[in-house]
């Protein structure tokens, strides 16, 4: 027995020594393995990736390779060179790392799944007439939920207190869930609030699931919560009568055709719930929080929405009028510039020469990962965006009120000056649905509610730094708000 243990320990030590042996060749990016063998920079990366990447950028420049838990990750921070990464899905593969995360977070493996077919289907369902139909359903659901909240009050003119993050996330999540997964609100099915409550518990463990750093107790909780969500989502998209969107029904049908068993289908439902709901609520929260703490911005957005609501509905329905909102669009883009912080990660599946915009070339090794972190640049880059820490609602507006798209770095006009939705072949398929949903949410909230901060001097909450890399950030703490329904509605 003792020999087995000793051999095992020796094996681990040899593995660590071997995997830490890598050295940099001249044609490769600067290599920083960190001081801890194998683990490398994993702890610092996980604690606050933005701080860590900024420190590495100061040390090595816009491209470097770091060791993170046995893997080598090359980080590229020059937005002028992002195209070289985003337009080469053959050498820089999106799917492999996505599958690793799928397994870790959702305990889901779909070995015979065809992501290209799934994506083509989703693209079709989230554009054109289908998108218009989904947006109209989303609008109805948001209105219904607000009305339901109003009816639940004994005295409808009283002020209610709440926290802005849970208020925004809960409302948008439930409306999105009803639109895409379920259909009706009152047909003896699961209460969307139950799904939301379970989902939030899952969401709180998401980064640890992805990094495989759950403590034993958290592991048990994660397993229970996932199990409960799989059960709640089990009927979603099954048959015409399920009330689910055409998209979900087609997706479920595709899984069935691929021979995916029932249990795995449920797990895939949770993956889709996360992909479609995980960022929209937090994004709406940040936008409302910035508006509430910047009266000038709130005034400008209100003014734009008021002029829309005053137009004649007989000539043009509200949802069509809500498409032309340059002030709102700029404010949302600015809120996302400050709070959308996904890693755009690709696996190097064949040796690749990366040509950067400054003329330099670097070799990438097969099996390494390549990571763009647009939050650092372009989004928070002071050369591109003056005073990048400040929320300026009109940053993406020209003087004449049109959308501003001219931003520069080192004299070059940038294709990517903010990247909350990713870009290229694997950019966000749900972007227009997400923007439309957030716009409707803010419009309806400002239209139906008097909404204000409990403390007029309250500051924006800090961000939860462990969530860098996982899409839209979430706050550490919240903003206390009070609201009441306007008399006329």
**Which range binds ligand HEM by CB under 6 A, 46-54, 58-66, 183-191, 422-430?**
422-430
Q: Nearest approach, Cβ of 428 to ligand HEM (angstroms)?
A: 3
* Residue 233, annotated as binding a ligand: no
369 is in an annotated binding site: yes
Chosen residue from 434, 442, 444, 473 binding ligand HEM by CB under 6 A = 434
CB of 19 to ligand HEM, least distance (A): 26
Q: 280, 288, 308, 322: which one contacts ligand HEM (CB under 6 A)?
A: 280
* Measured distance between the N- and C-terminal CA atoms of the chain, rounded to whole angstroms: 76
Cβ nearer to ligand HEM, comparing 268 with 344: 344
Give dist(CA 430, CA 418) in Å, integer.
Answer: 17
Q: Sign of dihedral through CA atoms 87, 93, 95, 98? A: negative
123 binds ligand HEM (CB under 6 A): no
Residue 344 touches ligand HEM, criterion: CB under 6 A: yes
Judged by beta carbon, residue 28 or residue 466, the one nearer ligand HEM is 466
Q: Is 133 annotated as a binding residue?
A: no
Q: Is 339 in the site for ligand HEM (CB under 6 A)?
A: no
Candidate list 135, 279, 377, 466; residue touching ligand HEM; CB under 6 A:
279
Taking the complex as a whole, the smallest distance from the CB of residue 123 to ligand HEM amounts, in Å, to 9
Interface region with ligand HEM, contact rule CB under 6 A, candidates 15-23, 47-55, 337-345, 396-404: 337-345
Distance CA 346, CA 92 (A): 5
Identify the residue among 24, 59, 119, 366 touching ligand HEM (CB under 6 A). 119
- Contact track, ligand HEM, 453-482, x by CB under 6 A: ------------------xx----------
468, 341 Cβ separation under 8 angstroms: yes
Is residue 104 a known part of a binding site? yes
**By the rule CB under 6 A, 283 interacts with ligand HEM:** yes
Residue 279 labeled ligand binder: yes
Which is nearer to ligand HEM, 94 or 362 (by Cβ)? 94
487/489 Cα distance (integer angstroms) = 6
Q: Which two tokens stand for residue 269?
A: 């439902």
Stretch that binds ligand HEM, among 35-43, 318-326, 389-397, 417-425 (CB under 6 A): 417-425
Give, in order, the Cα–Cα distances in Å from 282 to each of 52, 265, 472: 24, 27, 6
Q: Is 376 in the site for ligand HEM (CB under 6 A)?
A: no
Report the interface residues with ligand HEM, using CB under 6 A: 119, 122, 126, 275-276, 279-280, 283, 340, 342, 344, 420-422, 426-430, 433-434, 471-472
């Amino acid at each position: 027995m003792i020999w087995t243990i000793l051999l095992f320990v020796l094996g681990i030590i040899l593995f660590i020594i071997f995997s830490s042996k890598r050295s940099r060749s001249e044609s490769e990016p600067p290599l920083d393995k960190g001081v801890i063998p194998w683990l490398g920079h994993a702890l610092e990366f996980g604690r606050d990736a933005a701080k860590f990447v900024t420190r590495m950028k100061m040390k090595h420049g816009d491209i470097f390779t770091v060791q993170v838990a046995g893997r080598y990750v090359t980080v590229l921070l020059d937005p002028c060179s992002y195209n070289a990464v985003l337009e080469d899905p053959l050498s820089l593969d999106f799917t492999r790392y996505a599958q690793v995360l799928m397994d870790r977070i959702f305990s889901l493996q779909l070995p015979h799944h065809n992501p290209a077919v799934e994506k083509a289907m989703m693209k079709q369902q989230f554009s054109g007439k289908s998108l218009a139909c989904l947006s109209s359903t989303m609008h109805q659901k948001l209105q219904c939920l607000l009305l339901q909240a109003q009816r639940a009050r004994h005295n409808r003119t009283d002020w209610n207190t709440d926290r802005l993050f849970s208020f925004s996330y809960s409302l948008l999540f439930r409306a999105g869930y009803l639109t895409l997964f379920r259909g009706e609100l009152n047909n003896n099915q699961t209460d969307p609030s139950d799904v939301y409550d379970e989902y939030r518990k899952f969401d709180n463990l998401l980064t640890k699931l992805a990094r495989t750093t759950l403590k034993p107790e958290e592991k048990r909780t994660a397993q229970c919560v996932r199990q409960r969500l799989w059960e709640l989502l089990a009927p979603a998209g099954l048959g015409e009568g399920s009330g689910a969107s055409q998209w979900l029904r087609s997706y479920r049908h595709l899984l069935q055709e691929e021979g995916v068993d029932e249990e795995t289908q449920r797990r895939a439902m949770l993956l889709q719930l996360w992909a479609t709901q995980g960022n929209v609520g937090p994004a709406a929260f940040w936008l409302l929080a910035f508006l509430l703490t910047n009266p000038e911005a709130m005034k400008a957005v209100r003014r734009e929405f008021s002029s829309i609501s005053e137009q004649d509905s007989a000539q043009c329905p509200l949802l069509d009028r809500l498409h032309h909102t340059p002030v709102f669009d700029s404010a949302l883009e600015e809120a996302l510039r400050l709070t959308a912080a996904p890693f755009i990660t690709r696996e190097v599946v064949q040796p690749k020469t990366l040509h950067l915009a400054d003329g330099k070339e670097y070799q990438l090794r097969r099996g390494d990962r390549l990571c763009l972190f647009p939050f650092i640049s372009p989004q928070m880059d002071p050369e591109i965006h003056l005073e990048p820490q400040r929320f300026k609602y009109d940053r993406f507006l020209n003087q004449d009120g049109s959308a501003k798209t001219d931003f520069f770095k080192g004299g070059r006009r940038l294709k990517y000056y903010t990247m909350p939705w990713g870009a290229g072949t694997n950019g966000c398929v749900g972007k227009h649905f997400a923007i439309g949903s957030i716009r409707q949410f803010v419009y309806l909230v400002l239209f139906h509610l008097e909404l204000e901060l409990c403390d007029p001097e309250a500051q924006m909450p800090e961000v939860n730094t462990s969530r860098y890399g996982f899409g839209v950030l979430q706050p550490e703490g919240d903003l206390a708000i009070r609201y009441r329904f306007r008399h006329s509605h």
